A and B are shown apart, each in its own frame.
Chain A
């Protein structure tokens, strides 16, 4: 009998495992995908190695790359970006770690309060979450992003729109800002040279501006794993979890099992969670282990799938419902000057429009940039528009970039300025995860089905997205773009939330205010699916990590008789010398 079994070692699961292990609990952390223990060996800068949809090391699939990826039914044309493996999708993310919009919590009283999705607020106040944000921001750590060329240009464009700069971590008004990123700031030679001999740790420390966030960060070369620049949980929380018996008084190292796909949560006659069953990928062995508490952190798709496949109760029908994805769009400007689009961190700048959403300046390597430019729901410009509503707002094209449009835009990828649109979208029951009746089950049971009704979103959601698109086009035109392309994307799910949401009302939520399942005692959820809403548009990872930290405290207090620690103790940073010594085995 273990104290806690956490299912999923991604952005949320790694956090809750580390926090509880530091309290001395016996924690097992299961991960379906690969281990990723040595980023310098496991990863490369090549897109073909990382991002190949069939065999890339960043996919939702098994560690053995000769085997196909795991199946999901997508009921519509959708790109759903989720990775398996220790670190989960944080291995692929750009480290953006903004706080949520305060307007999505119950204690928000400002004049624009009604601009938010008032029916689906968090079941507690923003002020309650602040200490947990601070704890995570210190642990990762989160730092103010430095500028590359694209950020410098983007900020100039934002100023031309008349926007002020935000100088707090909170969202207080419509404003632009350097991102708060879970990426170590550049020191030494980092960011100042492309000479590989001068980029070895410790001569280079922090972000080297290599431009390969999407292929996984293993820079600077030679750095201990906990000192890699981008703070994916695989290099921050996981090394801490595995060594907390060395640097945390009373801590107990987490038992991490990769290649372990959870297939069932077992309950007793009173519907109390008792054990987890999983399948070992390489051997096919089926194992079951009991625990006092079970935490699901498998993702917004796999957590409801596991719930359904376990036959757990769903009396109000909200398991899997309410998927929010920020109704993403993308606007690309072709600029008459260098933008450094492929250089530096993926995203170092953003504009918040509280109650509406967010714009981010983003850069990618050319293969991903071209693919994203050709991924649209609005047909082919000049030929057909697919009947999709949405204005051009002065953009030259709306739709899929192919043929000479794509060739011309891609002729110099470092003259593109790409702005991604993240909408404050409403929680809607119609957007959901269920089990597929069309696809055969795989070795882990019935496969999930993702259903997103792109063309019948709420009026507020649609209006918010159109406003943000208009602002992005204005910004690019103001900077002198010679061409502006609106892609008008189908569901491009790089942020997903709420499919097992916590909420004020038991009628439309699965979790109570402590992230414990309403109908299954001792079962908690700690991934993005637990979020009550789309947090207003900002990237969700930091908020999920803050919430997971809060949930760890709730578990420790309720089931292990412990005391809370956030606000009472000083957090230890994942780059603390004591952690480094432990990681190095000293």
Chain B
């Protein structure tokens, strides 16, 4: 629902954002650029040892969002949530890249995506601009939570057809989660041994 709302707010403000140079037209976002942009976003929210995390200057030894392989699922879910807005994921990528060029007109780096080429602090500046812009604020609010959900759930290995997992989720390793279960040996008793109150 939040995604829908963010998408609709964006749709209403596309002309304004384009006039400010804050948005690249969705049509010019190629598949490679799309993946590059979302990999840059994944590295920003959940960094790992991958090239995108290293390039932003904030990386970790443990796997992160890029290593999990959720990029395609992330893109597909964005588009599925907003079928009335064609290529919503490309619109999001266009915004991230458009504002990236405002924050740093010559970001350098080897990635197609200007956003992916930014430092961590510059990516934070992109979100600061989005947070300060009425039509982009809902998107700034939802994107980090949306990405974090996919990075820390079983999304990367969940098969929606069989409704089962195709492998062991990296997410469970990086959160030390013991995995799903029908029950746990966790019951430690009742406070003051009291099972009822009046």
Contact = CB atoms under 8 A, between A and B. Distances in A.
Interface in A44-64: 44-49, 51-55, 59-60
A404 B132 CA distance: 24
Contacts of B5: 72-74, 78
A99 to B, nearest CB: 11
A1 B187 CA distance: 51
Interface residues of B, number: 76
B181 A192 contact: no
B124 interface: yes
B197 A167 contact: yes
B171 interface: yes
Interface string A140-176: 0001101111011001000000000111110000000
Contacts of B125: 383
Contacts of A406: 45-46, 148
Contact of B197 (A73, A169, A403): A169
B144 A374 contact: yes
A263 interface: no
Q: Interface of chain A, helix or strand or loop or mixed?
A: loop
Given A49-B163, A148-B188, A199 B182 contact: yes
Given A52-B155, A146-B187, A384-B124, A77 B195 contact: no
Interface string B95-129: 00000000000000000000000001100110110
Given A77-B137, A374-B45, A402-B44, A194 B153 contact: no
A503 B32 CA distance: 58
A193 B1 contact: no
B29 interface: no
A68 B82 CA distance: 7
Given A165-B192, A340-B186, A407-B60, A77 B2 contact: yes
Contact of B178 (A168, A221, A342): A342
Contacts of B146: 53, 371
B107 to A, nearest CB: 17
A344 B1 contact: no
Interface string B148-161: 11111111001010
Contacts of B154: 46-48, 367
Contacts of A231: none
B161 to A, nearest CB: 11
Nearest to A196: B182
A522 to B, nearest CB: 32
Contacts of A377: 141
Contacts of B185: 191-194, 209
Contacts of A413: 175-177
24 contacts: A49-B160, A51-B149, A53-B77, A53-B146, A71-B8, A80-B1, A80-B2, A144-B196, A147-B187, A147-B190, A165-B191, A177-B191, A192-B185, A199-B183, A209-B187, A211-B184, A220-B183, A366-B153, A367-B148, A369-B152, A371-B152, A373-B148, A383-B125, A384-B128
A165 B197 CA distance: 12
A407 B198 CA distance: 44
A380 interface: yes
B94 interface: no
Contacts of A59: 1
B45 A403 contact: yes
A86 B140 CA distance: 33
Contact of A221 (B1, B148, B182, B194): B182
A411 to B, nearest CB: 7
A76 interface: yes
